[in-house]
Amino acid sequence: MMRMHGGARKWIFGLCMLMATLLFGPAVAKADPVLDWNVIAINTAVANGQNPFAQARDAAIVQLAVFEAVNAVTGDYRSYIGNIDAPRGASADAAAIQAAYRVLVTYFLPSKPTLDAALANSLASIPDGKAKTDGIATGEAAASTLIALRSNDGSSPAQFKTPGPAVPGEWQATVSCPIVNGVASGIAFQWQNVTPFGIRSAKDFLLGPPPALRSNEYAKTYNEVMTVGSLDSSERPPDRSDVATYYAATSPTQAFNQAARQIAQEQRRSLSENARALALINMAINDSLVAAFFNKYHYNFWRPETAIHAGDTDGNRKTEADPNFQPFIVTPCFPSYPSNHGSAANAAAAVMRRLYGEAGHSMTLSNPAVPTIVLQYTSFKQITNDISDARVYGGIHFRTDQDAGAVLGLAIGKEVYKHNLRPVHDDDWDDDHDDD
């Protein structure tokens, strides 16, 4: 039995055969090459075991390369890198295909046989000739330029955070943390310094601090996650268990690219529009995660399971310790405030409501990693609300982590949209969209 949540949250049956064909997207007719290779890009990253923040970075590189390749042919928008020229008459389809392929095969060499087959299949649909050859060359140039641009962006080598003394409020390693030099350590410490795609600096987006441990606000959010987020909680409804499970297995990159493809098909967006939209969405997701890590390691705030185990040390009379508390899903190995999922989801939503409108959509989210859960949505707010619940009911975040993530993501999504890939004919862009 499968469950549908979101707007109506209805129970449905008989979708087992559908799941075999969804593969992160709805069963629909073949889309344009931009959307086709977006599916391939996301699936390739997942198949290679990338974590959510690496997924976001590489998806942004792929989609920017595709955008530059297509835009060199169409000239609809202002370039991101500014030096890709396409011969007159070059095939935009071939340019998009080659750009995506070149980035993916560079970063995911083990997937080369699969990617080679996909490339041959995609290019076979384009008639041979000068237009095709010129398009391929344009895509190759765009991809090579983006790869070179990001070669020293701070995403590697991996760096780790060694926890300090067990002080109330300070982050401590949890069960998922790797052992580095004999010490359980935090991961992705370098990610706060990754070069953003569409904002000037993550440091421009420093949030206010998490709530004080002695405050009523902290006690409220502490008691919420302790009640609904424990492994054996009787207060967590089945649909909240499902969203917690689903978004533990599904990154914001997976979820929002899947949603964007469906809306683009539904609204019959052009190749050029789709190239720009996917580039902006993935730039915003990446940059929100960079800024989230900057804030995480700036405030170094403890996770709920650490806090609840040590609830008798926080100086708050309204927080009782539970040394046996276990979260419903596994706690990620880095500080709690703000939520990565909350930040990235709201950044994507901020861009997408500007591109497509907030509501009135039909978005079906699925993931073969959790095949018994299918989520149905009609608005972006429904998705971000579910993601907020997912992390609290999963027992890995305080509600205030989610609220802060929303503030951060909305600000970054707006910034990315306003200042990147603007239409060439729009010299006086005024963004008055409301993110509420």
CATH number of the domain bearing residue 111: 1.20.144.10
Based on the domain organization, do 282 and 381 belong to the same domain?
yes
> Is residue 435 in a domain?
no
Q: Which pLDDT score is estimated for 83?
A: 86
Length of the chain: 436
> Is residue 95 in a domain?
yes
Based on the domain organization, do 209 and 270 belong to the same domain?
yes
Based on the domain organization, do 51 and 140 belong to the same domain?
yes
Question: What's the domain range around 61?
Answer: 31-155
Based on the domain organization, do 73 and 176 belong to the same domain?
no
Q: Which two tokens stand for residue 268?
A: 């019959």
Q: Which two tokens stand for residue 380?
A: 């972006």
Our count of domains for the chain comes to 2
> Is residue 213 in a domain?
yes
Based on the domain organization, do 250 and 385 belong to the same domain?
yes
Q: What is the pLDDT of residues 251-283, one digit of tens each?
A: 999 999 999 999 999 999 999 999 999 999 999
Q: Which pLDDT score is estimated for 426?
A: 75
Task: For 232-295, give the DSSP string.
Answer: T-SSS-HHHHHHHHHHHH--HHHHHHHHHHHHHHHTT--HHHHHHHHHHHHHHHHHHHHHHHHH
Q: Which pLDDT score is estimated for 20?
A: 36
Based on the domain organization, do 144 and 244 belong to the same domain?
no
Q: Which pLDDT score is estimated for 66?
A: 98
Based on the domain organization, do 102 and 245 belong to the same domain?
no
Instruction: Provide block-wise average pLDDT over 10 residues at a time, the chain (436 residues).
Output: 37 33 40 93 97 98 98 97 94 98 98 98 97 98 98 98 97 97 97 98 98 98 98 98 98 98 96 98 98 98 98 98 98 98 98 98 98 98 98 98 98 98 75 62
> Is residue 433 in a domain?
no
Based on the domain organization, do 141 and 178 belong to the same domain?
no
Please give the Cα distance from 46 to 82 (Å, whole number).
31
> Is residue 56 in a domain?
yes
Angle subtended by helix axes 399-419 and 340-356, to nearest 10: 40
Based on the domain organization, do 279 and 398 belong to the same domain?
yes
> Is residue 390 in a domain?
yes
Q: What is the pLDDT of residues 85-143, one digit of tens each?
A: 999 999 999 999 999 999 999 999 999 999 999 999 999 999 999 999 999 999 999 99
Based on the domain organization, do 169 and 151 belong to the same domain?
no
Q: Give whole-number Cα distances, 163 to 171, 186, 251, 324, in Å.
A: 7, 7, 26, 22
> Is residue 432 in a domain?
no
Question: What phi-psi label fits residue 129: left (phi over 0), alpha (psi between -120 and 50 degrees) or beta?
Answer: left
Percent of the chain scoring above 90 in pLDDT: 90
Decide: 341 and 254 in contact? Cβ < 8 Å: no
Cβ neighbour number for residue 309 with a 10 Å cutoff: 18
CATH number of the domain bearing residue 329: 1.10.606.20
Based on the domain organization, do 105 and 242 belong to the same domain?
no
Based on the domain organization, do 131 and 258 belong to the same domain?
no
> Is residue 436 in a domain?
no
